[in-house]
Chain A
């Protein structure tokens, strides 16, 4: 059974701070990793994808991957109240297909 684990939170950070969201996964052969943002009552939307070890930056978002430790994280710099949402980690199967396994998500609250 492939598992993706996230702390459910909520993670509360002040506006302007760095929010750090973490995720571990069980399938050592996984090759693709994704972060989705889900606002309350809305559908998940893809914000970051990462495929190789190291960091990938996109604006205020940085995804970090460590395959040896089976760990992926998302950093949000200069957090804004509009970043308040649930962040879902998703891990692609080792077969390389489109089929991700989702974590249950971490709730992030950015307070002014």
Chain B
């Protein structure tokens, strides 16, 4: 298994632009999580899905953030419009009976 696959690995964008981060979970995992990691706040859970259904989005910082999981093999996290304070590493993770695995992350820089 290729593990949890995230794209892009790095994203640099200008303030006000829309940013879309993508994640392919491990096949058979029924949970998917989106995290944001910064030096100041550590690893924060933004939202998680169970069987493609959003369960808890209380960690989403504001309405500029949205996440979807249209099927079991794909999820997106969108930021519109982006702001410099959104600069962070965004991790996707999936979980199932085989365990909990993180993707390699997307490093987002908003200038």
Which residues of A (61-101) have their CB < 8 Å from a CB of B? 88, 98-101
A88 — nearest CB in chain B belongs to which residue? Answer: B43
Which stretch, A9-17, A22-30, A102-110, touches the partner chain B? A102-110
* Residues in chain B near residue A99, CB distance under 8 A: 33, 45, 48, 56
Q: Is the CB of A43 within 8 A of B105?
A: yes
Q: Is the CB of A42 within 8 A of B104?
A: yes
Query: A46 within 8 Å of B by Cβ?
Result: yes
The docked-state distance in angstroms from the alpha carbon of A45 to that of B42 is: 15
Which residues of B (28-87) have their CB < 8 Å from a CB of A? 31, 33, 41-43, 45, 48, 56
Query: A54 within 8 Å of B by Cβ?
Result: no
Q: Is the CB of A105 within 8 A of B42?
A: yes
Find B100's partner among A42, A98, A104, A105 (CB 8 Å cutoff). A98
- Report A35 CB to chain B, min CB distance, Å: 13
Query: B103 within 8 Å of A by Cβ?
Result: yes
Query: B95 within 8 Å of A by Cβ?
Result: yes
Given the known interface contacts A46-B99, A98-B31, A98-B95, the answer about A103 and B42 at a Cβ–Cβ threshold of 8 Å is yes
- Size category of the A interface is 10 to 19
- Report A26 CB to chain B, min CB distance, Å: 15
A102 — nearest CB in chain B belongs to which residue? Answer: B43
* Residues in chain B near residue A88, CB distance under 8 A: 43
Q: Is the CB of B100 within 8 A of A102?
A: no
Q: Is the CB of A46 within 8 A of B100?
A: yes
- Report B26 CB to chain A, min CB distance, Å: 13
* Residues in chain B near residue A101, CB distance under 8 A: 45
- Report A20 CB to chain B, min CB distance, Å: 21
The docked-state distance in angstroms from the alpha carbon of A100 to that of B89 is: 18
- Report B90 CB to chain A, min CB distance, Å: 11
Nearest 8 A-B pairs (CB), nearest first?
A104-B42, A43-B102, A102-B43, A98-B95, A98-B31, A44-B102, A43-B105, A43-B104
